[in-house]
Amino acid sequence: MFSFYRFFITQIAGACAFCVLVCLPGIHLSSGQLLGKPDDSSSVNIQGAFLPDGSQEPDSAVSTDSSSGVPVLEERSIVVPAVPEPVLDSLAHADTVSVPGPGAEDSLGADSTRLSLEIEPGFNLLALRYNGIYLNAGTAGDSSRIEELIERCRGTPVSGFVIDMKDDQGYLSYRSNNPLASQAGSNTRRVGDPAALVQHLHDSGLIACARVVAFKDPLLSTYSENDAYPYAVLDSATGFPWRQNNGETWANPQDNRVHDYLIAVVEELVSFGFDQIQLDYLRFPSDGDVSTCFYPVAIDSLNKAEIISFLLSRVRQVIDTTRVSLAADVFGWVPWLHEDRDYWIGQDYDLIAEYADVICPMLYSSHFPESFKAEYGPLRAYHIVREGTEKAAMRKGSHRTGVQPYIQGFRWQEPHFGTDYFLQQMQAATEGGAVGWIVWNAKNDYSALWEALSAKSLSSQAKTGQR
């Protein structure tokens, strides 16, 4: 893995190429020719559209070859309904990412009982230690709901809120001063005074984390100027914005102007006092026919994983003087993948760990093949979270990056959902070496979580003889 300084030098050359590319957007030099890297077509595609809080079947399923441990794609058909305006956030985290299949040395069929009993605790200080719940903008903007959740957290292990401030539809939860946000129609008044909300959470003893969806941005990508879509991943067959299976579009991860927009959003969120910035959808498109993806502005001196870490390095420069924590979400499979893979979605755990203080793998049992850890029955989720967390924690790198997994707070595709299921995931994260966990429920219905935490509290009181 190259050092930051080597990476920075590479960026100088990339920036020069970028200036030419902006002026001549149709020009696209092959990085494979420049660096001898394989083309994206050499990767193994595993795609689907898992809907965490929905009832729809995925458009494809991933099974595991019992002899080799390599995932196998099974095609299915699906009709994804349109998402009504009041629940724009309900499908966040919904895409199933296409990733290279694991090889023999990192087989997903490995025995979970072969886990190290010790995790070195030496994570960096900005790997904030807290357990959180995800809040969409509708919840965050409802003062009575916020008060209810603050009260619910008292006396529980939940000590932070991860709040949508830029969602997966491209909407900002506040009114930005950035002209591009206004032009693209991204501004809202869902959270009227973000700084006041953050201060209230601090006064209540809670950590405030701002979730920022990076490249899945239907608003920015469909914004047009002179009948062109300057910020979009384009469809090479039509010239219009490329659409994934559910019809949504993506901003171009290779465009420095998109990076600039995201960094401007981060700067505003830092000014509001957030303790942590969490970047989600920090990757290239996957859920659809990516062979027709065309990047009219491209930095071909870098591969996709290096482009993701380039953005992170720029965000790092913004927040380093503020002591704000930087977190990055990755797909659940990523801790199992090694650095010699062709990371065609751009999520290389070790490169991300060079810049992020915390990495948040989405270890939902519903998003793994049914055959994966099936031998553990009702303890399957425990083994998935435990092994995924431990594999991630052991890859903290020189930056001493912490791991804080997302755990499943919804019933979809999980027959054992309930109190024990919650407690097993929490225990697994702790035993795997996490700095904390985050519960995901797109609708923010955490009734099952509170029931589980109440049961745990009653059990602890009974063991100690308390009333």
Q: Which two tokens stand for residue 57?
A: 């079947």
Per-residue pLDDT of the chain (467 residues; tens, 9 = 90+): 434 333 343 444 444 433 333 333 333 333 332 222 223 332 222 233 333 332 232 333 333 444 334 333 232 222 222 323 322 233 345 443 333 333 333 333 333 333 333 344 588 999 999 999 999 999 999 999 999 999 999 999 999 999 999 999 999 999 999 999 999 999 999 999 999 999 999 999 999 999 999 999 999 999 999 999 999 999 999 999 999 999 999 999 999 999 999 999 999 999 999 999 999 999 999 999 999 999 999 887 899 999 999 999 999 999 998 999 999 999 999 999 876 555 689 999 999 999 999 999 999 999 999 999 999 999 999 999 999 999 999 999 989 999 999 999 999 988 889 999 999 999 999 999 999 999 999 999 999 999 999 987 655 444 444 54
Alpha-carbon span 467 to 458, nearest angstrom = 9
pLDDT in tens, 131-177: 999 999 999 999 999 999 999 999 999 999 999 999 999 999 999 99
pTM of the model: 0.76
| CA separation, residue 196 to residues 135, 141, 171 (Å) | 16, 11, 20
Domains of the chain, with CATH numbers? 4-464 (3.20.20.80)
Q: Cα-Cα-Cα-Cα dihedral of 70, 74, 78, 84, to 10°?
A: 0
